[in-house]
Amino acid sequence: MPEFLADPSVLTKEKLKSELIANNVSLPGGEQRKDVYVQLYLQHLTARNAPAALAQPDFSSDEEREPTPLGARSRGGAAPGRKATKKTDKPRLEEKDDLDVTELSNEDLQEQLVKYGVTPGPILATTRKIYEKKLQKLKEQGPELGSSTPLPTVSSSAENTKQNGNNDSDQYSDNEEDPKVEFRLEKREPLKAKTKTPVTLKQRRVVEHNQVETTAQLPVDDAVMSEGTPIAETIVASSNETLQVVNRVPGNFKHAAPTLSISEFSDLPRRTPKKPLMTAEVVEKTPAEERRVERDILKEMFPYEVSTPTGISASCRRPIKGAAGRPIELSDFRMEESFSSKYVSKYVPSADDKPEKRITKKRSIPMWIKILLFVVVSVFLFVVYQSMETNQGNPFSKYLGVSDTDIPTD
């Protein structure tokens, strides 16, 4: 093999073993778990490929995988996940490994995906590989999540079909019901960079879905995810892992939340309308502490922010008093009222109360005067115009020398 895969987990265990043997790598005695072989593969073979990536095969493979397109990220996420959480399921893994995703037909692949509650789009030549990877990842994660794996396919498929069609209606109708759910996903989402390919969306759907499986089942959020802003797979995967392993620990989120806060906040309101059922039941237990934490942090960070769907409250830039030669006047305070509440509340709320009161009083007077002046001036102009002599000739005749006419001098 001239090149070694950077992502050995795509191979089945048997293939990994054979590869290792072919390259004179000693195998541990007896049947081992797949990731043992994966690690061996990574250590020995991938290292030959890229000598730099040795120290921690999983992490380095994350780095290697980063640039690789499509579902590679899922591998990076999957590996640590597998490592951390796969304690059992040795026999199960072996069973699943026997099913090589690449050998499945399109229909079978679709069926397998549906089993995991994912509604794939058409599986064609172009999309097949993506779905294969997704299924593989699902399979690896599926045994871990274990218990609730038997997805109620009927309901899930029904909901999934709804995903494709009625996401918007679901999102908007259900978003208010579960604000708690929003936070959970919002946490993870802002972590993700916004520049994601649709492929990773699907991966994410899977990931999300798997998380949902742990408690209740709401696959709807998958579509929301996919429909919503793209999400970074790595972060999802890593957060996925964290969630799985330390599902109830708010510490993780506390740690994560402050870093997220800024970006998160902007995402938060944006996400709000798009959140469908989210993972309603799922989040019940978990988010309680985390929510509180997040809310506190958000309140601390942005106490005066207006919560809008887009997270953006556009308002005119307040002219800086005294800058650019602008005289500092009380009229400047007048502007505040026309601005959004954002500015009003932001800038020294208490201090502005008094000037505002005065402003309101003062404002009424000049307004009338303005109108009055305007009327007076307009009447004056009208009168002047009326009194002017009608000019028959060309006003420029003087210059053209065509004819002499009376030129109004007033």
Partner 1 sequence: MVTRTQKFKAFVSEPMGDKDVTAVDGINDELGLKLATKGFDKAYILLGQFLLLKKDHAVFQRWLKGSYGASPSQAQQCASCLMDWCYAFL
x/- map, 90-119, partner 1, by CB under 8 A: --------------------x--------x
In the bound state with partner 1, the residue whose beta carbon lies nearer, of 128 and 192, is: 128
Q: Which is nearer to partner 1, 68 or 161 (CB)?
A: 161
Interaction between residue 309 and partner 1 (CB under 8 A): no
Say how far apart CA 180 and CA 121 lie, in whole Å: 30
Least separation, in Å, of the C-beta of 162 and partner 1?
Answer: 11
Alpha helix positions (H), 275-340? 280-285, 287-301, 330-338
Size of the site for partner 1 (CB under 8 A): 14
Q: Which is nearer to partner 1, 168 or 353 (by Cβ)?
A: 168
Q: Does 121 bind partner 1 (CB under 8 A)?
A: yes
**Cα 280 to Cα 173: distance, rounded to the nearest angstrom:** 14
Residues 1 and 49 sit within 8 Å (Cβ to Cβ): no
Which of 385, 405, 401 is CA-nearest to residue 393? 405
Query: How near is the Cβ of 109 to partner 1 at its closest, in Å?
Result: 11
Q: Which of residues 92 and 162 has its CB atom nearest to partner 1 in the complex? A: 162
Alpha helical stretches, state H, 228-279: 233-245, 250-274
Among 11, 40, 123, 236, binds partner 1 (CB under 8 A): 123
Of 91, 152, 165, 393, the one binding partner 1 by CB under 8 A: 165
Q: Which is nearer to partner 1, 165 or 251 (CB)?
A: 165
Burial of 409 (0-12, 13-18, 19+ CB in 10 A): exposed
Tokens of 368: 């009338």
**Which of residues 152 and 198 has its CB atom nearest to partner 1 in the complex?**
198
Q: What share of the chain is helix, strand, coil (3-state, %, to 5)?
A: 70, 0, 30
Tokens of 82: 């597998």
* Window 248 to 287, contacts with partner 1 (CB under 8 A): none
- Segment lying near partner 1 (by CB under 8 A), choices 45-53, 121-129, 178-186, 327-335: 121-129
Which helix H or strand E contains 396, and what residues bound it? none
* Neighbouring residues of 344: CB distance < 8 A, sequence distance ≥ 6: 336, 337, 352
Q: Which stretch binds partner 1 (CB under 8 A): 134-142, 162-170, 185-193, 326-334?
A: 162-170
| Of 122-130, 187-195, 210-218, 356-364: span binding partner 1 (CB under 8 A) | 122-130
- By CB under 8 A, residue 157 contacts partner 1: no
Query: What is the C-alpha radius of gyration for the chain, rounded to an integer number of angstroms?
Result: 33
For the CB of residue 122, give the shortest distance to partner 1 in the complex, in Å: 3
Half-sphere exposure of 71 (CA within 13 A, CB side): 24
Least distance in Å: CB of 308 to partner 1?
Answer: 25
Q: Would you list the DSSP string of 91-138? A: HHHHHHHHS-GGGS-HHHHHHHHHHTT-------HHHHHHHHHHHHHH
**Site for partner 1 (CB under 8 A): which residue of 149, 153, 157, 166?**
166
168: contact with partner 1 by CB under 8 A: yes
What lies within 8 Å, CB to CB, of 48 at 6+ separation is: 4
154 lies in the site for partner 1, by CB under 8 A: no
If binding is defined by CB under 8 A, does position 122 make contact with partner 1?
Answer: yes
Q: Which is nearer to partner 1, 119 or 261 (by Cβ)?
A: 119
Among residues 110 and 175, whose Cβ is nearest to partner 1? 110
Residue 120, interface with partner 1 (CB under 8 A)? yes
Quote the least distance from Cβ 154 to partner 1, whole Å: 15
Query: Which three-class secondary structure state does DSSP give residue 314?
Result: coil
Q: Is 164 in the site for partner 1 (CB under 8 A)?
A: yes
Instruction: Give the residue with the Cβ less far from partner 1, 5 or 123.
Output: 123
Q: Residue 238 in contact with residue 221, Cβ under 8 Å?
A: no
Query: Quick check: 210 and 145 in contact, CB under 8 A?
Result: yes
Site residues for partner 1 per CB under 8 A: 110, 119-124, 126, 161, 164-168
